[in-house]
Amino acid sequence: MSFSTFSFRFQARTLTILLLTVWVAAIISACSKDGDKNVINVFSVDDDIKLGQQLADQIRSDPAQYPLLPQSQYPKAYEHLNRITQTLLNTGKIKYKDRFKWEINIIRDDSTLNAFCAPGGFIYVYTGIIKFLDSEDQFAGVLGHEIAHAERRHSTDRLTQQYGISMLLDMVLGQNKGALANVATNLAILAYSRSNETEADLASVEYLCATDYNSTGTAGFFKKLIEQGQGGRTPAFLSTHPNPDKRVENIEKEAQTRNCTNTQTYATRYNEFRNSLP
């Protein structure tokens, strides 16, 4: 093959990729509507996993921003966390149960009521929200909410809108370390759309309904926030629209629609989980 032929083919391929990127970006822009439900996700499931792993590695390398609780030092806490996680994953309701890694970590920060997920099933919960909740069904509801964001691939959708296809593709390919660090830093405050949040709320009911947990566990968290007037501390993953009262209503209605009858809260067992934290 001559150099000129190679150069022509290379340029043609580059132009094709560029045009495809512009075309997909235009579609995404046109389809976006206060939500990601109509957004076309141009990334494969494998891309989600690769990106999530790189973000997880970046988070682990930044203890100042994300002080992860070591599993080796707090085995009891992670024993509870993994038990609750597996209870949800084993419901048969999680599409990528055997494909995603489902790595769950605890971030040591008692002042933050939050949890968040990276693409591919990498989920993080703060000690603040674990200690704020009263029972295991409430925590399972919050965890189910985050599992839903990963399973429904909301993270990749939202990151695509926020950072663009080109930048995310670079990160999937292991390039642009600066952008990777920036995304990892902002992951905890990534705001989802109305449709994403509603979908995750209702999915948490679906998951819990297949266990012996009270299926409205997530609503219990909202109710406590409302009762204590803690709206200002509401985390990004739950503070976006619709408002807490409406979300409680939607969650309870979904439980009724699904005829969920289990009522277990496991408050005593959850207290053991909280006491196992520093």
Which sequence spans correspond to the domains of the chain?
A: 1-31, 43-275
pLDDT of residue 262: 94
pLDDT of residue 273: 98
- Tens of pLDDT, residue by residue, the chain (278 residues): 443 333 444 454 444 444 444 434 443 443 444 444 455 677 889 999 999 999 999 999 999 999 999 999 999 999 999 999 999 999 999 999 999 999 999 999 999 999 999 999 999 999 999 999 999 999 999 999 999 999 999 988 888 888 888 888 888 887 888 889 999 999 998 888 889 999 999 999 999 999 999 999 999 998 988 888 755 455 555 555 568 889 999 999 999 999 999 999 999 999 999 999 99
Q: Which residues contact 212 (CB under 8 A, 6 or more apart)?
A: 262, 264
pLDDT of residue 123: 97
| Dihedrals phi, psi of 103, to nearest 5 degrees | -95, 120
pLDDT of residue 127: 98
135 touches 270 (CB < 8 A) = yes
- For residue 153, the SS3 value is coil
153 touches 161 (CB < 8 A) = no
0.85 surpassed by pTM: no
Q: Give the residues across from 40 on adjacent strands.
A: none
Q: From CA 162, how far away is CA 39, in angstroms rounded?
A: 13
Q: Which residues contact 265 (CB under 8 A, 6 or more apart)?
A: 135, 136, 137, 138, 213, 214, 217
The two tokens of residue 166 are 């080109």
150 touches 119 (CB < 8 A) = yes
pLDDT of residue 46: 93
